[in-house]
Amino acid sequence: MIDLRALEADPTPGYASQKARGEDPALIDQAIAADRKRREALSEFESARAEQKSVSKSVGKASPEERPAVLAKAKELAAHVKELEAEANKAAEEARAIAMRIDNIVSPEAPTGGEENFTDLEHVGERRDFAAEGFEPKDHLAVAEGLDAIDMKRGAKVSGSRFYYLKGIGARMELAFLTMAWDQAEAAGFVPMITPTMVSPQTMGGTGFLGAHADEIYHLEADDLYLTGTSEVALAGYHTDEILDLSNGPKRYTGWSTCYRREAGAAGRDTRGIIRVHQFNKVEMFSYCRIEDAAEEHKRLLGWEREMLGKMELPYRIIDTAAGDLGSSAARKFDCEAWLPSQERWMEVTSTSNCTQFQARRLGIRERIEQDGRQVTRPVATLNGTLATTRWLVALFENHQQADGSLYIPKAMRPYLGGRELIEPVNA
């Protein structure tokens, strides 16, 4: 949720953000008006309640002759106060409902435009010239099936389309790089967490995932719980309604969880194999920090993602996502995209978002600071970043395949795979 007081003081950033996202700027005016109505209703209620208390106190001091009139007045005020309290609560609910519809204010540094208007920041690593090596690269599924590493047919038989079995070296490889990511995160000071994968509507909505893309989330109606599409949700909810001590720097957690997504709108080439599936595993970084430190923390998260991609020996690029392609909670987002030889295109493998105070404001996560000589509380900033996920297998299979069907194992992964340097094909 955005800061409505700041928005009322200067609505210009709100208008600009809504336009950049392709949303209605008029919602800003509606939110400001609703919040003003809320404050007026609250003020009227508090004023009437103060009068009621004053009259009630005077009952004991009234003479026997005056007492019936004073009691009647107190009773009348009590009923009026009850009405005003209901009106104030209703105004507060309406104001919050409107405010919850507004996405986070986009960073002025984010590129303008839609999905195709990102800024290409950097290319890292060399793309292999398969033609010079004398063979045409297979897609990841063909490579994986040759290694007996993925079984899509039986996954579909058991659970439906876009489900799969990782088996043999496929299962071992996923565990290898996820464990490597966790080791890296712990070495950098992150607290490892195995997180819940079902959360309440309050937690899911508080993180900003029940907006335009809510249809991509699995909802368990009987329990009124949501299956998470990232451990970011559970990690963000971890400190709900708490006051954090950030005097020694950010609080950092890394969550390992199974993730679930409907992928309702996905179609075409991404549906072959495991590029877009309904269930996968992921290691996610999450940070709570002071708002003044958020931009630098964002760069640190990107740096840790780069470190992991370097260990995987993958060619990739970094893009600054355009405002119209940001999730509702992100003010700015960097994506790392690995090269996909079989399709000659880039494929997202990690992303890191600066959510500023948006999630923390909705979830009631604050810190104490000194302001004008006194202690006050304010929302913290939250940030997240993917450190490894099942989709990395796609990039690994395609970029490290060999002409004979075998698979090269990156040096950093070898200790996690019993020292294996090369995986020989099973079904050549």
Q: Choose among 99, 97, 377, 384: nearest CA to 237.
A: 384
- Is 17 a known ligand-binding residue? no
- Tell me whether residue 345 is exposed, middle or buried, using C-beta atoms within 10 angstroms of its C-beta: 0 to 12, 13 to 18, 19 or more: exposed
Question: Across the strands, what pairs with 160?
Answer: none
Residue 111's H or E segment, with its range, is none
- Is 386 a known ligand-binding residue? yes
- Is 262 a known ligand-binding residue? yes
In the block, which residue shows the tokens 């990102």?
A: 118
Q: Token digits for 166?
A: 């990782």
**How is 63-109 classified by DSSP, letter by letter?**
-TTTHHHHHHHHHHHHHHHHHHHHHHHHHHHHHHHHHHTSPPPPPTT
What is each CA distance from 10 to 16, 245, 377, in whole angstroms? 11, 30, 22
- Other C-beta atoms closer than 10 Å to the C-beta of 353 total 25
Cα–Cα distance between 261 and 256 in angstroms, integer?
A: 16
Which residues are designated catalytic?
261, 276, 348, 351, 391
Residue 192's H or E segment, with its range, is strand 191-194
- Is 280 a known ligand-binding residue? yes
Report residue 71: phi and psi, to 5°: -65, -40
- Is 261 a known ligand-binding residue? yes
- Is 230 a known ligand-binding residue? yes
- Is 349 a known ligand-binding residue? yes
Question: Across the strands, what pairs with 293?
Answer: none
Detail the residues annotated as belonging to a binding site: 230-232, 261-263, 277-280, 284, 348-351, 384, 386
Detail the residues annotated as belonging to a binding site for L-serine: 230-232, 261, 284, 384, 386
Detail the residues annotated as belonging to a binding site for ATP: 261-263, 277-280, 348-351
